[in-house]
Amino acid sequence: MANFHLEAKDVNVWFGARHVLKNVNLQFPENQVTALIGPSGCGKSTFIRTLNRMHELIPGAGFAGEVLLDGKDIYGEAVDPVDVRIKIGMVFQKPNPFPTMSIKENVISGLKLSGISRPDAGDLVEQSLVRASMWNEVKDRLNDPAISLSGGQQQRLCIARSLAMDPDVLLMDEPCSALDPGSTRRIEETILELKESMTIVIVTHNMQQAQRISDRTAFFLAEDNTPGHVVEFGETQQIFYGPIDPRTNEYVNGRFG
Amino acid sequence: MQAVERPKNAQPWTNLGPKVKLSSAITIIAPSVIYLAILLTTGMDFMAGLFTIFLPLQLLCGAWAGYYSYGKRGITDGLLLVVTFFLSLFVFVLLASVLWSVIESGFQALSPHFIYQNNVYVSGKTGLEIGGVGHAILGTALTVGISTLVTVPLGIATAVYLTETRDFGRGTVRTLLQAMSALPSVVSGLFIYSMLILSGWSGYSGLMGSLALIPLMLPTVSRVAEESLRLVPKDLRNGALALGAPSYRAFFMVTLPAAQSGIVTAVLLGIARVIGETAPILLTMTIANGTNLNPLQGGMATLPGYIFNYILLGDPTSIARAWGAALVLLIFVGILFAAARVASAPKKAKKRSAK
């Protein structure tokens, strides 16, 4: 079996007594984009949160299984969730730049927040903004408050903020669902550039987006009050053009969900 | 493209029509005129007539105006409008008259030396040209300042406990805070008096006064701070945690700055809550005529204590001094509330830096 960069083994999730994810097994190879698709409430967002232990912040959350990063379980006994989140970055559905900080401060906020000091913080700002393809737009107003940016720019700032931490894996939870088509296209271009240097997992409700940017796709489903699970997982082309499971076929062709 | 000029009436929703205008005018004027006529002819008591004659008349008129303008459904509208206006105006007049009486009576005592002088040279024979509340202002600043220094960290810590943790103890803490906010201030004073002063542990002093103010200030500070921390979007905190922040750094670097204006408001409201407290001060501090800057020893005057003291003396000059001190206190509270409003106003986006 090939070595995968990030791997979820038999992931089960509960909220209180409610079982919301059942036996999820997914592998995320290095330098590939994996899309998670499925109807609302099927547990995709919950699952992506288990990958950097953000899930455990929800009151009443429960977890069983393993998530291996480079072969090591991030839920292991001696593992600090803070270290996990430094290595595995996350971009949320709604842009959430820190309102009290300037653009520049936002980019390097991760360093300050995690207590890492780097002498080249100035270069890092430029580097990260370039990687998030927004350097040219903001290079003249780095000291402006971050909330003066447009929604699409704010989201790319959040990506830049994650990139400044130089993560191995970037998790994106519907990063474009609040954005216009132009901003969406730019973020998609950014994702395709970023995958050269990291592993990306993205939750999306947009079938075209999944096809455009992902190498592999996993289809989640939660039927009739049963816990969510993975129906089908494979190459994106195969999921969209030759799905094995009829439910996948119906979903990707827009007949339910 | 041809520009469309803004028409004279670009707010069609303000066109009320002649029926509404006419009936509103009658409703506003008629009851007052009738009531005034009755007052003048019979010479009855104003307040008694206000509720027995004027209010029913006004309600009747409001109901009629509503019916005349909008039919049946207008009746409740008219009645509610009258009740709302009447009660608002009533409360406003009450408040304004309280304010006015303080300003009117306090103004004659007010002068520059009244603000900075103390009372050492004041006797029963001296007039308003000597003596002031300088020592009382300093005393109030000291006692309230010490209370603030203790209460603010404690209150914010309580607010953090209530918003950031999900301990089982939260319900208890919140209930206790609510109970504390209903605590009569005299009880707080009595507690310090019996525990620390009667027991001989300490004499009357400024510090005892400060201690008595703390339980009164704490609920206000922590409740308002809690509300403002709760208003900070969860997304921001999650964003910080997802970057690998330990939760204490996420709190200090992201949540707290975002709630900053609310926290400032909490502190100012807390100060405003206790600055005029009299009962706990009277039970724990002796009143001095001179300036005392040592909160550990000796008597210390405060503004509320000063007012209480001088109003009891009873001669016209002393009463004028008490009113003057009340006016000074009122001005301080006013400044605090204005500062709270400014601090809690939504921040305008900073000017863009020069390019």
- pLDDT tens-place string over residues B51-65: 888 999 999 999 999
State whether B244 and A96 contact (CB < 8 Å).
no
Measured between alpha carbons, how far is B81 from A221 in angstroms, rounded to an integer?
Answer: 55
State whether A82 and B166 contact (CB < 8 Å).
no
Whether ipTM exceeds 0.95 = no
Instruction: For an interface test with A, give the residue of B166, B168, B243 to mutate (most A CBs within 10 A).
Output: B243
Measured between alpha carbons, how far is A184 from A186 in angstroms, rounded to an integer?
Answer: 5
State whether B241 and A85 contact (CB < 8 Å).
yes
Separation in Å, CA A191 to CA A93, A163, A194, A210, B216: 15, 11, 5, 12, 55
3-state secondary structure of A12: strand
Query: Does the pLDDT value for residue B352 go beyond 60?
Result: no
Could you tell me the pLDDT band of residue B70, with boundaries at 50, 70 and 90? confident
Enumerate residues 6+ apart whose C-beta is below 8 A from B278.
Answer: B185, B304, B305, B307, B308
Lowest mean pLDDT among A67-71, B18-22, B94-98, B300-304: B18-22
Tell me which residue in B235, B236, B242 faces A85 most closely, judged by beta carbons.
B242
Cβ contacts of A86 on chain B, cutoff 8 Å: 243-244
Q: Is A96 on the interface with B (CB under 8 A)?
A: yes
Could you state, in order of their start, the residue ranges of all structural domains in chain A? Answer: 6-252
State whether A113 and B233 contact (CB < 8 Å).
no
pLDDT value of position B350:
42
pLDDT value of position B355:
34
Cβ contacts of B346 on chain A, cutoff 8 Å: none
Query: Does the pLDDT value for residue A221 go beyond 80?
Result: yes
Tell me which residue in A89, A94, A99 faces B242 most closely, judged by beta carbons.
A89
Instruction: List residues bridging with A228 in a β-sheet.
Output: A21
Tell me which residue in B249, B257, B349 faces A113 most closely, judged by beta carbons.
B249
Q: Half-sphere exposure of residue B73, counting CA atoms within 13 Å on the CB side?
A: 1
- pLDDT tens-place string over residues B108-134: 888 888 888 888 777 777 777 788 888
Architecture in CATH for domain A6-252: 3-Layer(aba) Sandwich (3.40)
- pLDDT tens-place string over residues A89-130: 999 999 999 999 999 999 999 999 988 888 788 889 999 999
Q: Is A158 on the interface with B (CB under 8 A)?
A: yes
Locate the chain A residue with the closest alpha carbon to B246: A82
Q: Tokens 């000063």 map to which residue? A: B306
Locate the chain B residue with the closest alpha carbon to A81: B244
Domains of chain B as residue ranges with CATH: 17-107 (no CATH), 134-344 (1.10.3720.10)
State whether A98 and B166 contact (CB < 8 Å).
no
Q: CB of A198 within 8 A of CB of A32?
A: no
Could you tell me the pLDDT band of residue B347, with boundaries at 50, 70 and 90? low
Cβ contacts of B352 on chain A, cutoff 8 Å: 141, 144, 148
State whether A165 and B349 contact (CB < 8 Å).
no
Quote the mean pLDDT of chain B: 88
Could you tell me the pLDDT band of residue A1, with boundaries at 50, 70 and 90? very low
Measured between alpha carbons, how far is B39 from B42 in angstroms, rounded to an integer?
Answer: 6
- pLDDT tens-place string over residues B249-305: 999 999 999 998 899 999 999 999 999 899 999 999 888 888 888 888 888 889 999
Q: Two tokens at B243?
A: 């970057």
Locate the chain A residue with the closest alpha carbon to B258: A100
State whether A85 and B244 contact (CB < 8 Å).
yes
Quote the mean pLDDT of chain A: 91
State whether B249 and A115 contact (CB < 8 Å).
yes
β-sheet with A169-173: strand ranges across: A88-91, A169-173, A199-203, A33-37, A216-221, A229-235
Cβ contacts of A165 on chain B, cutoff 8 Å: 243-244
Tell me which residue in A114, A140, A143 faces B243 most closely, judged by beta carbons.
A114
For residue A110, the distance in angstroms to the closest alpha carbon of chain B comes to: 5
Query: Does the pLDDT value for residue B4 go beyond 90?
Result: no
pLDDT value of position B349:
42
Write out the E strands in chain B: none
Q: CB of B108 within 8 A of CB of B128?
A: yes
Lowest mean pLDDT among A113-117, A131-135, A214-218: A113-117
Cβ contacts of A55 on chain B, cutoff 8 Å: none
State the DSSP H helix or E strand holding residue A88, giving kind and residue range, or none if neither. strand A88-91
State whether A99 and B253 contact (CB < 8 Å).
no
Could you tell me the pLDDT band of residue B1, with boundaries at 50, 70 and 90? low
State whether B242 and A112 contact (CB < 8 Å).
no
Q: Tokens 């096809």 map to which residue? A: A211
C-alpha torsion B98→B101→B103→B108, nearest 10: -160
State whether B240 and A98 contact (CB < 8 Å).
yes
State whether A54 and B238 contact (CB < 8 Å).
yes
C-alpha torsion A142→A144→A148→A153, nearest 10: 10
